Amino acid sequence: MTGDTSSNTATAARRRKIGRTSLDVTALSLGTAPLGGLYHELTEDEARATIDAAWQSGLRFFDTAPHYGHTKAEHRLGDALRRYPRNEFALSTKVGRRFVPRTTPYDGSEGWAAPLPFQAIYDYTYDGIIRSFEDSQQRLGIVDIDIVLIHDIGRLTHGDKHVHYWRQLIDEGGFRALDELKQSRGVKAVGLGVNEGAVVMEMMAEYDIDCALLAGRYTLLEQTTLDDLLPECEKRDVSILLGGAFNSGILARGLDTSAHGDLKFNYGDAPKEIIERVEKLERVCREYGVALSAAAIQFPYAHKVVATVLMGARTPDEVRQNAASFATPIPPALWTSLRDEGLLHADAPVPQ
């Protein structure tokens, strides 16, 4: 890592409010799917060191979910965060899956390297959401959870069963559970955590959310949400917690496969058209002496509805590099060149 680390910390620690709530979060935040063993396992000590590095880098918002490592990430995050003053950080977790002891062998299809011996039951009912929330409190060892997100609702996850689970929110008390969490359980903001923009639009039409964790749908590689979702969020004062700024890694490393033997996009192998687009982005960044990762991590935060850029990391070095990339000066001409080459949406705001 290079540069003034105090400047990196100050940049990462800038804050924006979540929607119309009183809660604010740091510009850069830590996502914990890697701490649950996504693709590669890490030790308890490595997980704690990564969380500590995030704290030292000025990050004060941490997002987790029961799904990550089949409850492993929640345990690890809680163990680390309980050593810090509770009033100095914001915490989010997710509901929609209840975890029970595993009855069938894990087949590895979800990408967890060494998950705990539990399996998920999708449950978006009142009882399911309240139970999931209370289980998360116990795994984290932290009662006060600031943000609760409905996890992976939508057709992308559920296909033909989407309507069934959507009706659980409407007819079986799922939305009523969110109301209760805000009114009497200390939760400051509610929303959803998904990988598709369409279901966020659907949700806003049905229920008054405060925020949405959207992974991978507003990045240097993909900006179609500027046509519908982001303007609607701005109109309704709904904040975006922006995940997947590196699109599963391809914008972090570019086309360099020396350290990793494959190119990942959207949790799978990158298709040819994505590889070609990344090649063009890399070329422009090289012309201005800017790392692709720096442009990728800074770009989404230029939009006013993006309250934070959530970055997953599995090592302290990755955390510190993300903070440095977020603070790296970028010439305004780079963004102009990207727009001129058709690599940026015409309406995309850019960092100043």
The catalytically annotated residue of 72, 94, 152, 210 is 94
For 267, left (φ over 0), alpha (ψ -120 to 50), or beta? left
- Concerning whether 267 is annotated as a catalytic residue, the answer is no
- Concerning whether 94 is annotated as a catalytic residue, the answer is yes
The catalytically annotated residue of 63, 123, 146, 152 is 63
Provide the angle, in degrees to the nearest 10, between the axes of the packed helices 126-140 and 174-184.
Answer: 40
Question: Letter for the amino acid at 31?
Answer: G
- Concerning whether 63 is annotated as a catalytic residue, the answer is yes
Please check whether residue 251 is in contact with residue 292, taking contact to mean a CB–CB distance below 8 angstroms. Answer: yes
Sign of the alpha-carbon torsion through 106, 214, 225, 122: positive
The catalytically annotated residue of 24, 52, 68, 301 is 68
Active site residues: 63, 68, 94
